[in-house]
Amino acid sequence: MKKRDSEKDRACCRGVSRRGFIASVGTGAIGAVVAGRTAGSRPAAEVKTTEPTPITLKVNGRMHRVAVEPRWSLLYVLRDRLGLTGTKPGCERGECGACTVLVDGASRYACLTLAVEADGRAITTIEGLMDGEELGPVQLSFAAEDALQCGYCTPGQIMAAEGLLRANPAPTTNEIRAGMSGNLCRCGAYPHITRAVRRAAEARRGGGR
């Protein structure tokens, strides 16, 4: 009888059972949460955020005075504060280019640009390329070359093309491909996009905007 009891003791000492381990971890986690609450921690909703900062954005030629939190992206402010929904959220981590806008004439991802960074700078969105109800040359070229399928990435593609042509009015095919490489098209309309940018460049040299 004593021998059997000693073997049972040794088996217990070799390790904790799976059920016992899970139970002990669960108990420890509950204890940590309770300890945290009793230590005076507050729910996230009660934590006071930084006060909004007033900034001035010049968007499509119009001045906007807005109060923004330091963490807000330019994409969020354009869409949710100014109602300019032509700029599209995609990956929201600078990989797809759907949110491309122009900042002081150069292409920028609005999702990676803080609104406070754009304070006092000239911003152009897809809406700003139109002349009243008339489309700009890049927009017309995309339509003429059927450079879109689902159309979701198209505003960002057009803004990237606009930025490219402002910097280089007569790009080669390779320069167009390089300049547009930061914008992804899930539908795979890349040959049409390249032709559209080339067509827009020719339209500009022929007297278009």
pLDDT by residue for the chain (209 residues), tens only, comes to 444 554 544 444 444 454 453 444 444 444 444 344 434 444 444 444 578 999 999 999 999 999 999 999 999 999 999 999 999 999 999 999 999 999 999 999 999 999 999 999 999 999 999 999 999 999 999 999 999 999 999 999 999 999 999 999 999 999 999 999 999 999 999 999 999 999 999 998 886 55
Identity of the residue numbered 195: R
Check residue 208 and give its pLDDT.
59
Helices and strands of the chain, counted as H and E runs: 7, 5
Which pLDDT score is estimated for 205? 85
pLDDT at residue number 11: 45
- Helix pair angle (137-144, 190-205), 10° resolution: 140
Each residue of 143-171: b (16+ CB within 10 Å) or e? Answer: eebebbeeebbbbbbbbbbbbbbeeeeeb
Burial of 85 (0-12, 13-18, 19+ CB in 10 A): middle
Q: CATH class for domain 49-128? A: alpha beta
The CATH number of 130-209 is 1.10.150.120
Q: Which of 149, 150, 145 is nearest to 161 (CA)?
A: 145
Give kind and range of the element (H or E) at residue 2.
helix 2-13
- Residues 199, 141: contact at Cβ < 8 Å? yes
**How do the domains of the chain map onto residue ranges?**
2-46, 49-128, 130-209
pLDDT of residue 206: 81
* Per-residue confidence (pLDDT) for residue 46, from 0 to 100: 46
User: Taking the model in full, what pTM does it have?
Assistant: 0.75
pLDDT given for residue 36 in this prediction: 44
